[in-house]
Structure 1
């Protein structure tokens, strides 16, 4: 297998040789390290495997009547998103419980894709929406080239309702296609169609508007005017598509042009024979789309992150040698990967993280850290700190003083008319640039005003300067992607990570450069680049409090562990050996429609966040579900239904991870990052181990190496400042040194080993109650005394556990050495 890395990383290209089969076998045995050791490259060879699928919808039997008297008027809808942009349908058969259609449909499919056909029987209704009667999902991967098969799909094994369909699959030997894949997602060839409208003759230019439509393209439809600049459609090259041109003033007049009939690279001019004057000339030019992907398909860290780690190891090695008083220099493969994990918690999390990072720096241990992950409020602290490229090499007294000024100032001015006017002006400019409009952007600007006196022009990609010579840990910010409606966060949630280098989904092995987040993509290619958003708009995503649905609100209002338990028990898991090849879907009955209404009421997110989806248009590899990285953090059986997963959505719906588990652990648990020790900084009020235990149970369910979280009853009642969790039987599980937000010995000591004088006792009393604490997440303004107490408490808890930290670092070093000793 030849290999080289492209400018955006690497991906597997299937070339028709035995390599695809070998790769699939290796993946099924979990040998993902091959991909990292020898990253495959995009090949120019075309991939055979295109087949002609003929589907003949025969008949149905025993369909229910829509009332007691009149039989149903039925038709069948066919939806195959890997082969067509259209939902095709049969004719309607009137007044029959046993309709016969006998209609054939043809699709070009590729055998390397996960082709899932949806067949639906509808009862046509002229007054209301058509009623679904039967829905079938059929995996076409069960067919082999040359097969002729007749299937009878039954809604109920005991019932008589069934649909009969014939399938014929024939290999097309003269068709091949270039595919890019990482074993999970597949990018196909792309075509570009440039369209320009001109007037024929010398008549005065018309002011009429024209609608251009290419179904299945990235753009879908576009309104244009005669004489305007050319417009470009991006669409899959392999599909049988056509351009539709409609006059808005005369919709009955339209022109349709099959794209396959256009010669590639040549200009074709047509005259639209309209009944109106002046006539309109259509200029068309079809060409190949970009070959290189702008989306990196790969499950390991990007080349920039690997280069950073190499630079950071030199800093970590010096810091560890000094902290642990080692005699000899550390070899590169001996250096442990140590990370800081910070939870969310609003202003409380931001202030606490400042205090703890100052403590680590005072102990000389901040340079031992390679990664820092944050969620919700802790991302505010990281975004502030990384504006200074040398922040961890300086005294944090200055940034801390600035922080105190911001968290103690009055927040009433953020809604002043002058501020509101500025917000609307910037939101209008974003909309003009092409960003989807959503309430989260307004929240982002308000939260920026809460934490800063003036807008900051800093961006996420600008933080690369703070990593240029390994001088700071690599920051990773976490968000959760979910569905805008119909599913709760517990039913579907995917972890999304943001770093100065990349933004992406580890679950899919798909990443883009951070400066391209928010731009428009299709089939892995960049179709419209938008200006990079200021980091405040990302902070609005990471701390998105306004994408909650009623179900999420019930979770927050109840005891989280009990609520999570109920959902976890009811949630169906999907075993990799039980991927559904055929699924019959229940259709809503009268009672089902009532339940559907309440489900919609509970799950709809009225203020959902919206960002252009950089996975849009990508298809799934036929063996995607068996890929070892795809199973990580999968949520429900929806993962077995590729037509309903994130690449099918036009927009992402990103929100605060606290709607599921208040943690930023997931990026550190990716096996490709190989983290040895995680300093867990937990800012939850009450339940010192609750979120960590929820995470541990999720890891156990998903087979992710993680130490058991089993504090003693005494530790549960009165948690200490620091707890170490290990799993000696699992060398792949990181050690976790857990720092809950507690005020144990801080009440008695103003600094480690220095008792607090009687007149300073009040300074040691920190109210961390989950009900009436001044640090509740809803509190946006702290008193100077409360801000000082929280900063001092978190700083003290780190410094007071110096020996526990050094002991954990020694353990991480020993385990790293043990793992790399020759067997």
Structure 2
């Protein structure tokens, strides 16, 4: 039942942005529909959930393969942590034909050592110097995602296009931050090996050009295509609430600079004996990072401020440094203290930038500090800038840049990537690895679809199942795809220990899983498939009928 790569292309296209016009593929869609009607169009959705979702998806796919069902899947779409699993799988051409071998390689890598600080730092510099727009997503990719996935994958999605003939078509999903916050335009972004763009609007650009600068539909300046490490960071950056992430990033920044200083990695950066030591400049930045951590945690940073000012005075040859006074900081008012610290950070960065811009990489660190202050994530050029097209919401045409972020911040499952009309989906299999309410994703998808007039079956959950979910739910409706919903932890695979399993695999864990933890999670996720393989085949048979 597996389709060819060419048929996949026709199945996935909607309206694509090409040069200065939007081209409709009406005829191709009709041809694709005729071919697609011959087989059921099945989409497998994997929710977010950090490492839990990454490992849970892998265990589920292994069992789908054993049950002979994986071969029926046309699309595999993921959110957040599940995209980390997808990125690992699609590195291997035709991975679905040798899944046991691929699985063993992935588990061995995830159980191994993390990427070294030196390699992570080198990758961070490569991101900073390699493109026009730099944001915290680049920092998250180099310093955090590498901790979980244990590699720096510099392949691109378009590299995979040539070897997709036997695997489900992959769709990675994020959301447009401005559209989510302001309610204007289309929040759902999908990125596949051949196109990237807005799922509901139907406006797309070739994936290799997604990061490039456009004006009125024409490319003005090419930017390199995002690599797979960055894509995983773009998709999976909401592992905790904003304050926890902020804390963790300041810790990473502080520890990285400290490590580089201890390893003597700045020694080769010295210029001449007259110029101040490079180390002192980076020690000042390290103090500044730790001051931010103190303020976030309600601690007095005065001793660090004194150390920082001493370093700056030494660097300036004893000249007075005009820096925002930290003495007026009021820790009792947490939000005011954060704003005050942001101003102090900006002052220090401006001072260092003005006086010591000649020091290698100091501008990169200052840029990182400013991104932390402004909380800039996933900023890209807007390929719809100044389109002046009625099919595109005016809000999507105005700004030269857009910010993209983890789709789990809106809906933790990628329903709207497969609910595009031209995809003609008959059956959705939703693997839910979410933390908390195990039915929130499918309920939210139903409510959102209702508002948007998108066919979706009604979702009714028995009250008694809210606390003790089962392992298999089917939702059906008139002229709508059938939706199968499978919560990860449930009364069938966990018995009375659901909360114990949830506690053991919380999303907010910034350390990677050990081998035993990976194996147990793959087993419990796999049971949801092996226990329901006949139910799955029955529903597939029903949509064929």
- TM-score in same-fold range (> 0.5): yes
With over 3 angstroms needed to count, the CA separation of the structure-2 counterparts of 1:786 and 1:453, relative to structure 1, is closer
Q: Displacement of 1:519 after TM fit?
A: 1.3
What displacement does 1:617 show? 1.6
SS at match of 1:455: coil
Aligned to 1:350: 54
Distance in 1, Cα, partners of 2:455 & 2:226 = 36
- Counterparts of residues 200-215 of structure 1 (less than 5 Å): none
In the alignment, the residues of structure 2 paired with residue 309 and residue 384 of structure 1 have an alpha-carbon distance, to the nearest angstrom, of: 31
* Deviation at residue 454 of structure 1 after TM alignment: 4.4
Tell me by how many angstroms 1:701 deviates.
1.7
Residue 511 (structure 2) pairs with residue 807 (structure 1): no
For the Cα contact (< 8 Å) 2:88–2:106, is it kept in 1? Answer: no
Q: CA deviation at 1:615?
A: 0.8
| Long gaps (5+) in structure 2 | 1-8, 247-334, 340-372
Quote how far apart the aligned CAs of 1:741 are.
0.9
Larger Cα-atom Rg: 1
Task: Tell me what 1:659 maps to.
Answer: 409
Q: Which residue of 1 aligns with 2:492?
A: 745
Alpha carbons of structure 1 residues 536 and 616: separation in structure 2 relative to 1, 3 Å: same
Q: 1:783 to 1:306 in 2, by over 3 A?
A: farther
SS in 2 for 1:620: coil
| Selected match of 1:477 from 172, 191, 201 | 172
Change (3 A) 1:428 1:711: closer
**Matching residue within 422, 435, 441 for 1:691:** 441
- Residue in 2 that maps onto 1:539: 232
Q: What root-mean-square deviation, in Å, do the aligned CA atoms of Structure 1 and Structure 2 show?
A: 3.5
How far is 1:811 from its partner? 1.1
Whether contact under 8 Å (1:296, 1:511) holds in the other structure is no
Q: Give, in whole Å, the separation in 2 of the partners of 1:790 and 1:299.
A: 44
Name the counterpart of 2:281: none
Aligned to 1:340: 44
Post-superposition offset of 1:726: 0.5
Mapping for residues 227-242 of structure 1, pairs under 5 Å? none
Corresponding pairs, count: 411
Could you say which residue in structure 2 is the equivalent of 1:80? none
- 1:419 and 2:119 aligned: yes
Q: How does 1:101-180 map to 2 (within 5 A)?
A: none
Change (3 A) 1:783 1:775: farther
Over 3 Å counting, the alpha-carbon distance change for 1:605 and 1:549 in structure 2 is farther
Q: How does 1:322-721 map to 2 (within 5 A)?
A: 333-394=37-98, 396-409=99-112, 411=114, 414=116, 416=117, 418-431=118-131, 435-467=132-164, 470-483=165-178, 488=181, 494-545=187-238, 606-621=375-390, 624=391, 642=394, 645-721=395-471
Tell me: CA distance 1:660–1:333, structure 2 relative to 1, closer, same or farther (3 Å): closer
Conserved 8 A contact 1:408-1:782: yes
Q: Tell whether the 8 Å contact from 2:428 to 2:484 is kept in structure 1 after alignment.
A: yes
Q: Which structure shows the higher helix fraction?
A: 2
Q: Distance in 2 between matches of 1:701 and 1:605?
A: 33
Contact 1:299 1:509 in 2 (8 A): no
Within 1, Cα distance between the matches of 2:20 and 2:487?
38
Deviation track 1:681-711 (CA, whole Å, cap 9, x = no partner) reads 0001332212211221111122111111101
Q: CA 1:739–1:516 in 2, change beyond 3 Å: closer, same or farther?
A: same
C-alpha contact 2:136 2:375 (8 A) present in aligned 1? no
Deviation string, structure 1 residues 429-471 (Cα, Å, up to 9, x no partner) = 314xxx301111121122442245542231010111232xx31
Match of 1:568 in 2: none
CA drift of 1:722 comes to 0.8
Unpaired runs of at least 5, structure 1: 1-8, 11-35, 40-181, 188-292, 314-331, 554-596, 625-629, 631-638, 749-763, 815-823
| C-alpha distance after superposition, 1:398-449 (max 9, x if no partner) | 33233333434455x65x3x23531343123314xxx301111121122442
TM-score under structure 2 length normalisation: 0.68
Q: TM (normalized to structure 1)?
A: 0.46
Distance 1:308 1:402, change over 3 A: farther
1:299 and 1:655, CA in 2 relative to 1: closer, same or farther beyond 3 A?
farther
Contact 1:347 1:407 in 2 (8 A): no
Gap change, CA 1:768 and 1:357, over 3 Å in 2: farther
Helix, strand or coil: the match of 2:161? helix
- Aligned CA distance change for structure 1 residues 777 and 401 (closer, same or farther; 3 Å): farther
Q: Is the 8 A contact 1:347 1:779 kept in 2?
A: no
